[in-house]
Amino acid sequence: MSLLRCEAVAKSFGGLQALAGVQFEVGAGEIVGLIGPNGAGKSTLVNTITGVHRPEHGSITFDGHEVTRLAPERITRLGVARTFQIPQPFHTLSVLENVMVGVAFGARGASLERAAREAAELLEFVGLADKAHHEPQALTIIELRRLELARALGSGARLLLLDEIHAGLTPKELEEARELLQRLRARGVTILMVEHLMQIIMAVCERIVVLEFGRKIAEGTPAEVAADPEVIRAYLGTRRAGGARAAGA
């Protein structure tokens, strides 16, 4: 059964067609990768699914609910959560309070006291427990991404949309991140992850969707996608070609 279904989703900015009829599904419990060259429309797709942007055409359903024109908070409360490609913490709140916002107002709608407890647990889970009462300004970029993750998890997500949370990690950190993803899956969270790093995509995703210029150009298992001539062509003229080839080899 599919948890998320996008049908013919189109979104444009002025004259620029950022999404031109994208169609795909994510099944419950899956980890799906969303890849594509810079500007392919990956973040726009995440924004559209979460209600930050409204698509001009197409429909998006989550768990049987039509969410295409819902306000972002309604979609979140249904159980969709996301991180932002550029971490955007609430800068006048503490790290703990950042996560509390998600817990208090997300799908579970906890009281402030419960939110504080659960937020502390989530910080433990992502490895930020010792920073709970720091201000976000004091965090490194990698810690900020983990904070994004904790806030998103806090809102009670059944579907988690991760927008490039692994960029710039060292091999050791990547290994930790991969473990974290496995633990998430063990919690029963479905994940759609945007990523440029083929290494992690190949390692954790069951299925990959490839976007280019706002269109889906390929979909399949990691092995299928890596061998797809369209994908190789799309990646060749770009900076990331090396990564794609290396991973496919």
Partner 1 sequence: MSRAAAARVRRRRTLPVALAMLVAGGVVAALVREQFVLQVLTYVFIFAIYAQSWNIAAHSGQFSLGHATFLGLGAYASVLLAGRLGLPAAVAMFVGPLLPALAGLAIARLCLRLREWYFGMVTFGFTAIVQVLVVEPFGGLTNRWDGLDAAPLWAGGRAIETIAILNYLTALALMVGSYLLAARLMNSKSGLALAAIHDNEVVAAVSGVNVRTHRLMAMTLSGYVAGVAGALNSHTLTRHISPGIFGIEDSIWPLLYTIAGGLRIPEGPILGTLVVRVFWEWALRALGGFESLVVIGLALAVIVTTFPQGLYVLAARAAGWAGPRLARRAR
- For residue 38, the partner it binds in ligand ATP, partner 1, Mg ion, none, with Cβ less than 5 to 8 A by kind, is ligand ATP
Task: Work out how close the CB of 18 gets to ligand ATP at its nearest, in angstroms, rounded to a whole number.
Answer: 4
Kindly state whether residue 90 participates in binding partner 1, applying the rule CB under 8 A. Answer: yes
Q: Are residues 216 and 229 in contact, defined by beta-carbon separation less than 8 angstroms?
A: no
Considering the rule CB under 6 A, would residue 170 count as an interface residue with ligand ATP? no
- Number of C-beta neighbours around residue 30 at 10 A: 18
| Sites for partner 1 among residues 186-245 (CB under 8 A) | none
Q: Burial, 75: exposed, middle or buried (Cβ in 10 Å; 0-12, 13-18, 19+)? A: buried
- Rounded to whole angstroms, the Cα distance separating 143 from 202 reads 24
The DSSP-derived string for 142-205 is HHHHHHHHHHHHHTT-SEEEEES-STT--HHHHHHHHHHHHHHHHTT-EEEEE-S-HHHHHHH-
Contacted by 190, from ligand ATP, partner 1, Mg ion, none: CB < 5 to 8 Å by type: none
Minimum CB separation of residue 141 from Mg ion in Å reads 16
Residue 186 to residues 11, 111, 127: CA-CA distances in angstroms?
A: 34, 26, 17
- Minimum CB distance to partner 1 smaller for 80 or for 205: 80
CA distances 183 to 85, 125, 156, 188, Å, are: 22, 9, 15, 9
- Told to check if 43 binds ligand ATP by CB under 6 A, we report yes
The answer to whether the CB of 84 falls within 8 A of the CB of 72 is no
Residue 100 lies near partner 1 (rule: CB under 8 A) = yes
Residue 73 lies near partner 1 (rule: CB under 8 A): yes
Return the one option of partner 1, Mg ion, ligand ATP, none that residue 84 interacts with (CB less than 5 to 8 A, by type): partner 1
Task: Report, in Å, the least distance between residue 44 CB and partner 1.
Answer: 14
| Nearer CB in complex with partner 1: 33/87 | 87
Asked if 190 interacts with Mg ion (CB under 5 A), we say: no
**Strand partners for 60:** 6
Question: Which spans of this chain sit near Mg ion (rule: CB under 5 A)?
Answer: 42-43, 85
Question: Which spans of this chain sit near ligand ATP (rule: CB under 6 A)?
Answer: 13, 16, 18, 36, 38-44, 85
